[in-house]
Structure 1
């Protein structure tokens, strides 16, 4: 059901219910008013009869009346119980001895009675309560036709006014339909109702974020294409060298270069895929309590063979126990990238130390190496994608620290690069918020 039809249905339903309530209230008010009027009329009729009147003369001078439903019926009995007068000969009610007002059942009908006793007579005035109700109901039903006309007119007015009010939504949907991935400018917000402006602002914010995401994706694809072009060309040249070295005795060296090129390309592709997932899907990964020291211990053990192959002493200096809230997938990636960077840029025979230090509501991951370090003016730039320091010892993908930066931002953590304290190289520190047990 459309918004217009839904509003029309509920508004008209509300008006119809109010109309019914109005009719019921009108009926009840009319009943109360008629009760007061007819009760007063009955009282006046009873007291208009003299206390010592002559019944014969009254009957002689007063013609018999035909009962009309809402008539008051006057009956008079003398002290001997003889009915000396009745205003409507076709209706004869028995005498009711209770003075004043009362109600009684007679022949299946309800009657309102007023009884006056004098020294000579019992004067009784009666009126049908069913007739009173019918008069009130008839009066209430007479208002039904104006009410239906009112509902019809209100329905037309509501249909027109709702349609006019929804034109802003129609224009907004038309504006949105014109937007394309290459055309995400802000929506026109002039002359919009106040209720729609927050929706327009929210859509503008969403379009702005979408534009930033699309621009970032374009830049990422362009950078990835540029970065992949060189290693792929290198692989092609190395494959040709292997082909040319067949039978020359240099096959082993050429094949080793080819394997190293494949490994570098594979590492670059892995880093690209990892960065892509972090950027476009990492915000939706659930965060759960993690034992950071256990993750660091396992990742360090996994890197020992690689460190030994480069003759680097990889060890753990301190591992304080601590729990953080994080992604089971992303936190190990952060630790692996930091340790991998430290090993890659540390010369053969060097040292890499890993530590977890638990402080006041903080848990700090520290990785120190004995490599050449990073100049202070470049310590912020190395977090940019594909930026590489001019270090001859190793050739990375330029994505490791960019991935670390993304993970820390998604976990509300902080990453710092500074000169190492105990070793001559670089110290990378990541400060996490500790999960305090309740």
Structure 2
């Protein structure tokens, strides 16, 4: 018999180890950013509220109201950021039957005033569909997708949000008619700090990263298609629940 030959041990993959270390460092950075930025945000909100209560002209009050709404939305986004940084060991989704119209209405209310200020028409199509998901985490996904679309839509352009059935699933889509994304950029569009190759884009490029992290935690596939100079469409696919009751008047 031939003597047994010990197989050589594989050297650790240094590239994978570095990538994991980078992801861990990124998670810590995002968690700290999501937490530490809340304090100055609260100070800004309090200052706006006191300015309005002290008495300002109607036009100034409207502008301060718009600023206050934007800061409150930023606070929710910071919460999303901190939560998404804990993927793999953080928030456990609480999936249940959810009326999609309620989530869409909440997201529309958050972005309507900002879209109008940007000269963008925001249209959210009514949906009587029910889905099985975590309502708060789905709101995080759609809030970021709609905000991203409004940010990139041209002045005078539009953003359309709608849902449709596909077998036992529901696909929620967000369309914009902005500049689109170059094909070479699509593969990395959901990475942190990626802004689709646009240097003039506002923000840090974390919105779509939050979308991906949250969608992965839920097990909801997300996707994108885009045509340069014609616009983009992002979507999330959800399991369908039983159809809810008729939508009440808002």
TM-score range, shorter chain: 0.5 to 0.7
1:337/1:404 contact within 8 Å kept: yes
Partner residue in 1 for 2:164: 357
The structure richer in helix per residue is 1
Q: Pick from 81, 85, 89 the counterpart of residue 280 of structure 1.
A: 89
Q: Pick from 290, 310, 315 the counterpart of residue 118 of structure 2.
A: 310
Consecutive unaligned residues of structure 2, counting only runs of 5 or more, are 1-18, 34-67, 244-250
Listed as ranges, the matches of 1:384-403 within 5 Å are 384-403=191-210
Listed as ranges, the matches of 1:417-432 within 5 Å are 417-419=224-226, 424-432=230-238
1:330 partnered with 2:125? no
1:433 partnered with 2:239? yes
Q: TM-score, normalised by structure 2?
A: 0.64
Q: 1:295 and 1:268, CA in 2 relative to 1: closer, same or farther beyond 3 A?
A: closer
Per the TM alignment, residue 315 of structure 1 is displaced from its structure 2 partner at its CA by: 0.7
Aligned residue pair count: 190
Q: 1:406 and 1:417, CA in 2 relative to 1: closer, same or farther beyond 3 A?
A: same
Q: Distance in 2 between matches of 1:295 and 1:267?
A: 15
Q: Distance in 1 between matches of 2:202 and 2:80?
A: 14
SS in 1 for 2:102: helix
Q: Distance in 2 between matches of 1:345 and 1:306?
A: 13
Per the TM alignment, residue 353 of structure 1 is displaced from its structure 2 partner at its CA by: 0.7
Per the TM alignment, residue 390 of structure 1 is displaced from its structure 2 partner at its CA by: 2.7
Per the TM alignment, residue 357 of structure 1 is displaced from its structure 2 partner at its CA by: 1.0
Q: Distance in 1 between matches of 2:20 and 2:216?
A: 16
Consecutive unaligned residues of structure 1, counting only runs of 5 or more, are 1-211, 227-258
2:31/2:83 contact within 8 Å kept: no
CA RMSD of aligned residues (A): 3.4
Q: 1:264 and 1:409, CA in 2 relative to 1: closer, same or farther beyond 3 A?
A: closer
Per the TM alignment, residue 391 of structure 1 is displaced from its structure 2 partner at its CA by: 2.0
Q: Distance in 1 between matches of 2:152 and 2:207?
A: 12
Partner residue in 2 for 1:410: 217
Per the TM alignment, residue 224 of structure 1 is displaced from its structure 2 partner at its CA by: 7.3
Q: 1:292 and 1:219, CA in 2 relative to 1: closer, same or farther beyond 3 A?
A: same
SS in 2 for 1:358: strand
Per the TM alignment, residue 271 of structure 1 is displaced from its structure 2 partner at its CA by: 5.2
1:345/1:393 contact within 8 Å kept: no
Asked which structure has the greater CA Rg, the reply is 1
Per the TM alignment, residue 328 of structure 1 is displaced from its structure 2 partner at its CA by: 2.5
Per the TM alignment, residue 308 of structure 1 is displaced from its structure 2 partner at its CA by: 0.6
Q: 1:270 and 1:277, CA in 2 relative to 1: closer, same or farther beyond 3 A?
A: same
Per the TM alignment, residue 272 of structure 1 is displaced from its structure 2 partner at its CA by: 3.2
Which structure's relative contact order is higher, taking Cα pairs within 8 Å and 6+ residues apart? 2
Per the TM alignment, residue 268 of structure 1 is displaced from its structure 2 partner at its CA by: 7.6
Q: Distance in 2 between matches of 1:356 and 1:292?
A: 9
